[in-house]
Chain A
Amino acid sequence: KNEVEQSPQNLTAQEGEFITINCSYSVGISALHWLQQHPGGGIVSLFMLSSGKKKHGRLIATINIQEKHSSLHITASHPRDSAVYICAVRFNNDMRFGAGTRLTVKP
C-alpha cells in the first residue's frame, strides 16, 4: 500500500469551476508538498506545508496533521491549470509521492 494516496486520479472540469484534489498519508511527516507537472514533464513546486493553510493566487493548500490529510484547491479554474498535481510527503530523510491527479480544464 502506498503511504500517500491521492484522489481523484483523473478530474475533468469546466473553466471557472472550483477544484479540489485530496491527499491522505499514513506516516508521520515533517512537511507536505504539492507539485505540478505539465505535459512536457517538468515538475514545479507549488507549496510546502507543515501546518494550516497557504494561498498563492488562485491556489490554496490546507493540511490537517491530526487527520493526516491535505487538500489543494483551485478557484476559478482555467485551461492553463491542466496538469498533473502530485502530493509528496517528507518523513525521516525520505520523500514519498502520490500517484498524481490528472486535471483537465475545458474551455
Chain B
Amino acid sequence: DVKVTQSSRYLVKRTGEKVFLECVQDMDHENMFWYRQDPGLGLRLIYFSYDVKMKEKGDIPEGYSVSREKKERFSLILESASTNQTSMYLCASSSGQGDGYTFGSGTRLTVV
C-alpha cells in the first residue's frame, strides 16, 4: 500500500523553538507539498517541491522553510515557532500534473 508518512501525529513545542516536521513518501513521486489546515480556512499551501533540491513558496511561506535533499523526503522547518503556527500540518505528494494527491495523516502542532 502506497504511503505518505509524517513522523509525528501530535507535537507540543515552546515559542521560539526550531521545529522540524518530516514527511516521507514511498511512491517515487516528484511532487511534494506542505499545507496547513485551520478551521474555516481549508488547506493553505506553505511550500512545494517539484524535484530534489528544488522548492517554491506557496501562499503562506512566512515563518517557514523547507528542505528536500532526497526525492522521498520533504521537511518543513519552523525557524522560531510562534503561537499562530499552532495548526494541523499535512504533507502530500503526487506524480504529475494530472494526478491526485496522496496525503499523510497530518501532524497536529501546538505551540505554547
List chain A positions with a Cβ less than 8 A from chain B: 2, 4, 9, 30-31, 33, 35, 40-45, 48, 86, 88, 90, 93-95, 97-100
The 10 closest A-B pairs by CB, nearest first: A41-B106, A43-B103, A99-B42, A97-B43, A42-B105, A97-B42, A45-B100, A48-B100, A41-B105, A33-B100
Note all chain B residues with C-beta closer than 8 A to A4: 42
* Max count, chain B CB within 10 A of own CB: residue among A4, A41, A45, A86: A41
Number of residue pairs A-B, CB distance < 8 angstroms: 48
**Chain B: which residue is nearest A47 at the CB level?**
B100
- Report Cα–Cα, A4/B44, bound state, in Å: 12
Q: Is B84 an interface residue (CB 8 A)?
A: no
State which of B33, B92, B108 has its C-beta within 8 Å of the C-beta of A41.
B108
13 example contacts (A-B, Cβ-Cβ < 8 A) are as follows A9-B40, A33-B100, A40-B105, A42-B106, A43-B90, A43-B103, A45-B101, A86-B43, A90-B97, A95-B45, A95-B101, A97-B43, A99-B41
